[in-house]
């Protein structure tokens, strides 16, 4: 049984360093961020802006939510060019 496991590791097309959970989690995060950015580009929002607004909507009455909401209104927006 040990031989079959080592043989499958040797023939695997995936490098051993890329099978580490931390690498896979980081790569998944990059893919999600990219997809989110593609969706939000038409709304002139960044994934960070969207995340902050979602957090503010969940906790609308907190002082930090009010401060963040005001800060988002004051941020300069990208030009349409």
Tokens of 59: 């906790």
Q: Report the C-alpha gap between 38 and 51 in whole angstroms.
A: 15
Q: In the structure, what pLDDT confidence band is assigned to residue 76 with cuts at 50, 70 and 90?
A: low
In degrees rounded to 5, what are phi and psi of residue 13? -75, -10
Q: Report the C-alpha gap between 16 and 64 in whole angstroms.
A: 44
Average pLDDT over residues 40-53: 86
Question: Is 0.85 surpassed by the pTM of this model?
Answer: no
Q: How many CB atoms lie within 10 A of CB 78?
A: 9
The per-residue pLDDT for 47 is 86
Between 49 and 19, whose confidence is greater? Answer: 49
Does pLDDT of 31 surpass 90? yes
Does pLDDT of 43 surpass 80? yes
Q: Report the C-alpha gap between 55 and 66 in whole angstroms.
A: 11
Contact 56, 69 (CB under 8 A): yes
The per-residue pLDDT for 29 is 93
DSSP-H helix ranges across the chain:
2-11, 21-40, 47-58, 63-74
Between 8 and 43, whose confidence is greater? Answer: 43
């Amino acid at each position: 049984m040990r031989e079959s496991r080592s043989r499958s590791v040797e023939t695997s097309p995936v490098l051993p360093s890329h099978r580490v959970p931390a690498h896979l989690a980081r790569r998944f995060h990059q893919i999600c961020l990219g997809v989110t950015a593609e969706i939000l580009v038409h709304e002139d929002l960044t994934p960070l802006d969207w995340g902050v607004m979602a957090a503010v909507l969940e906790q609308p009455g907190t002082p930090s939510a009010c401060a963040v909401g005001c800060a988002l209104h004051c941020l300069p927006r990208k030009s349409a060019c």
